[in-house]
Structure 1
Amino acid sequence: MHMNSRFAAALLAATLLQFPLAHAQQTAAPIPSHAVQQESGSYNVRVGDIKVTALSDGTIPIDLHALLKGATPENIDKLLMRSFQRNPLETSINVYLVKLPGHTVLIDTGAGQLFGPGNGGRLLERLAAQGLQPEDVTDVLLTHAHSDHSGGLVKDGQRVFPNATVYVGKPDVDFFFNESNQKKTGYEQRYFDIARLTLKPYMDAGKLKTFAATQEVLPGITATLHPGHTPGSAFYRLTSAGESLTFVGDLIHVAAVQFPMPGVTITFDQNQAKAASVRKAQFAAFARERALIAAPHLPFPGMGHLRTSSSGGYDWVPVTYTDRKEN
């Protein structure tokens, strides 16, 4: 099926503009890029009685000098060097699969076609490796309606998951489906195009559900709204047998910079001040509660804990690697 012109325009805009790429000069000792393709692309954890699988949709390089706000390129490079990284930063796109009784759930869907060949879009092959087809997915919980989270919902403008109900914060639908909000806020047109491109097929099929307040959307999974990155940005908290895991969406993009400097924002944040405020408050709460969180753009599998650091920021502690058969 040929892509219609609106889809093609949105695709081109997303591919070229969503994550600016760069080939920055490195003045210090070179750091190997480790740009290799991994073949497994999955990692399992158990939360109480529930199995959660992180799936890699791929990685992409992003130019932090062009994207981050509240830090100079010199600050950014210094913090990256501390973590043995460099600009442009190779950044994960993580999707999470949750198997509930009677439900096969995805938290976000990756980029789909929207970043072009070789840049994300690996979700379906990762699902196939789990023995799952698109028809098996019953529910999709979107943290927000940006291309690297909702892009995998559609292919050539058609629904990828024909049996799935898509859940998204109502403020995102209200905001992105009202063209006047682009003129009022100055938020780039491409975000509006992409949200409608990916959500409308499910809306037209009666498969889109929204929530406007804290709500248990599925058994054991509670959605909460945290506006800033987008008006309807949501967390999803999975609870089972006294354990929990919170899927935090784009609360953070760059561990090396935003954990030590939580006030640093990114150009994708619709409301910069709110995004910074939410990040600071939630980092403090997660560190205090020793909460397990999952983030789409932290290095795969993107799951771990925060702890306060002596410098006044936070450290990221990834989950302990575990590889043994369950009894």
Structure 2
Amino acid sequence: MSMNSSRWTRRGLAIAIGAGWVAAAQAELPAQQLEQAPGWFRMMVGEYEVTALYDGHTTLDTSLLKGMEQDDILRHLDALFIDADSGMQTAVNAFLIHTGENLVLVDAGSAACFGPTLGQVEQSLRASGYTPEDVDTVLMTHLHPDHVCGLVDDNGDAIYTNAELRASQDDADFWLDEERTQALPEADRAFFIMAQEAVAPYQDADRFNPFTPGDELLMGVVAQDTHGHTAGHASFMLNSDDDAMLVWGDVVHSYGVQFADPSVAIEFDTDPEQAIRTRETVLESAAEDKHWVAGAHMPFPGIGHVVKGEDGYRWVPIEFGPVTTDE
């Protein structure tokens, strides 16, 4: 064998060995991991610790939005790289507030009421370092099932066993009225029944206490009237030191459309015209006062600021960072 042939033999052997190493490495490569971590995000509002809790997401058909032509809706969504061909993704968030004296949960998520992509509030809460037993107050923005079903487990028992449950009196009167429920066509009763079943164990334990707008529910936590989406929809203004946050519930469902045009309503609004007036007032106030906003259906963590744009408003989400006070 010549020197050249020997050299090429050695080179071929090296290539073969290298190929074997590559094949072995590829064979050992683990499968892609398609699950997310439990969703929680923490920040300070003055001396109050606020933790956003991710319940999951659902997909809404764009036809549910009312007051704008479909072509214009799709144009707004496309400008934000939202592919709405199969619907627009909408997050569901809850918020945990540690005031130093109370641990307060605002909304409880959807549990099993809307399928496997939702129902993660309890998991997210535990992952964030707390347990349901630590919560002493649950405030409801309203009693729709994607906010209220997470109050109970699969057996219908209360999850927040040490908590007082509070919702607006107007929402309680509307959704928990059994006579109203029975008077409805059977196909229209589902939301009412889910609300009643979720609230029932708290009522039975004498731990359901409705409020009226304007009430200071806890030190620095005031209920605000933001009705329209439901008869008694409420938001909660937190004030601590020189900082403030409005936890606004369902003031906005589609950030890609309703910031640009607040006059767009959604099919779920009990009173669409009032929901529009409420949204316009809340967005204007948030932009002028520059306080934080926490939204149940904003992209997780659902926290940011509202600023005025050339047309309508814009959403400026919070950036991830360390949990610090202004000290």
- What TM-score do the two structures reach when normalised by structure 1? 0.83
Number of paired residues? 290
Structure 1 residues 66-95: Cα deviation after superposition (integer angstroms, max 9, x where no partner)? x11112221111111000002211211111
Corresponding residue of 1:239: 239
Q: State the Cα distance separating 1:53 from its structure 2 match.
A: 0.8
Corresponding residue of 2:318: 319
Q: What code does the residue aligned with 2:118 have? A: G
Partners of 1:40 and 1:192 lie apart in 2 by 30
Task: Classify 1:199/1:71 alpha carbon distance in 2 versus 1 (closer, same or farther; 3 Å).
Answer: same
Task: Classify 1:93/1:37 alpha carbon distance in 2 versus 1 (closer, same or farther; 3 Å).
Answer: farther
1:121 to 119, 122, 142: 119
3-state DSSP of counterpart to 1:151: helix
Q: State the Cα distance separating 1:149 from its structure 2 match.
A: 0.7
Q: What code does the residue aligned with 1:80 have? A: L
Corresponding residue of 1:56: 54
Structure 1 residues 32-77: Cα deviation after superposition (integer angstroms, max 9, x where no partner)? xxxx642141111111111111111111222122x11112221111
Q: State the Cα distance separating 1:191 from its structure 2 match.
A: 2.1
- Determine if contact 1:43/1:54 at 8 Å carries over to the other structure: yes
3-state DSSP of counterpart to 2:125: helix
Partners of 1:135 and 1:287 lie apart in 2 by 37
Partners of 1:142 and 1:41 lie apart in 2 by 20
Structure 1 residues 219-244: Cα deviation after superposition (integer angstroms, max 9, x where no partner)? 11111222111111111111111111
Q: How does 1:176-195 map to 2 (within 5 A)?
A: 176-179=175-178, 181=180, 188-195=188-195
Task: Classify 1:231/1:128 alpha carbon distance in 2 versus 1 (closer, same or farther; 3 Å).
Answer: same
- Determine if contact 1:187/1:270 at 8 Å carries over to the other structure: no
Structure 1 residues 272-323: Cα deviation after superposition (integer angstroms, max 9, x where no partner)? 1110111111111111111211001110011111111112x10111113213
Structure 2 spans left out of the alignment, 5+ residues:
1-33
Is 1:260 aligned to residue 260 of structure 2? yes
Corresponding residue of 1:149: 147
How well do the aligned residues superpose, as a CA RMSD in angstroms?
2.1
Partners of 2:184 and 2:133 lie apart in 1 by 39
Moved runs in structure 1, 4+ residues, more than 4 A?
179-187, 324-327
3-state DSSP of counterpart to 2:236: strand
Partners of 2:308 and 2:180 lie apart in 1 by 38
Corresponding residue of 1:76: 73
Partners of 2:323 and 2:95 lie apart in 1 by 20
Task: Classify 1:61/1:51 alpha carbon distance in 2 versus 1 (closer, same or farther; 3 Å).
Answer: same
- Determine if contact 1:228/1:269 at 8 Å carries over to the other structure: yes
Q: What code does the residue aligned with 1:75 have? A: D
Q: What code does the residue aligned with 1:102 have? A: E
Task: Classify 1:186/1:263 alpha carbon distance in 2 versus 1 (closer, same or farther; 3 Å).
Answer: farther
Q: Answer with 240-249 or 96-105: which moved more.
A: 96-105
3-state DSSP of counterpart to 2:138: strand
Is 1:85 aligned to residue 100 of structure 2? no
Task: Classify 1:307/1:324 alpha carbon distance in 2 versus 1 (closer, same or farther; 3 Å).
Answer: closer
- Determine if contact 2:66/2:267 at 8 Å carries over to the other structure: yes
Corresponding residue of 2:104: 105
Q: State the Cα distance separating 1:190 from its structure 2 match.
A: 2.0
Q: Name the larger-Rg structure.
A: 2
Partners of 1:233 and 1:283 lie apart in 2 by 16
Partners of 1:253 and 1:168 lie apart in 2 by 20
Among the aligned pairs, what percent are the same residue?
34
- Determine if contact 2:56/2:91 at 8 Å carries over to the other structure: yes
Task: Classify 1:186/1:240 alpha carbon distance in 2 versus 1 (closer, same or farther; 3 Å).
Answer: farther
Q: State the Cα distance separating 1:184 from its structure 2 match.
A: 8.5
- What TM-score do the two structures reach when normalised by structure 2? 0.83
Q: State the Cα distance separating 1:187 from its structure 2 match.
A: 11
3-state DSSP of counterpart to 2:250: helix
Q: State the Cα distance separating 1:213 from its structure 2 match.
A: 2.9
Q: What code does the residue aligned with 2:152 have? A: V
Task: Classify 1:231/1:134 alpha carbon distance in 2 versus 1 (closer, same or farther; 3 Å).
Answer: same
Corresponding residue of 2:294: 294
Q: What code does the residue aligned with 1:73 have? A: Q
Q: What code does the residue aligned with 2:69 have? A: T
Partners of 2:220 and 2:187 lie apart in 1 by 35
Structure 1 spans left out of the alignment, 5+ residues:
1-35
